Amino acid sequence: MFMLDDKSSNTASVVVLCTAPDEATAQDLAAKVLAEKLAACATLIPGATSLYYWEGKLEQEYEVQMILKTDNAHQQALLECLKSHHPYQTPELLVLPVIHGDTDYLSWLNASLR
């Protein structure tokens, strides 16, 4: 069964995207936010290539894409934790709302953050 996630609620789920320079850094960041119960799950996808302009120069970097699942109540603390422990000066920190999801998964996610 699927349910609409209530955006006005502190328990509404969000997905946070963040990249890390390597697998060790991604694992360290994931372990930290999971231990502090700021995220219920962290999916690490190695092998991403990011292209972007930085200080006027085109950069191309190997990165690990992190996909973190949390809720509105933990979102700000998660972002602050990632930013304060991240090696990048300006890390990717994007928050995407979850509009629909499996009821059992969303219940597990919320329970995991308590």
Q: Which residues are annotated as a binding site for Cu cation?
A: 18, 85-86
Amino acid at residue number 59: E
Mark the binding-site residues, compressed into ranges. 18, 85-86
Which residue, among 73, 71, 47, has the nearest Cα to 61 in the 3D structure?
Answer: 47
Strands 100-102 and 57-71: unpaired
Amino acid at residue number 44: L
Who contacts 93 (Cβ-Cβ below 8 Å, separation ≥6)? 16, 17, 18, 79, 82, 83
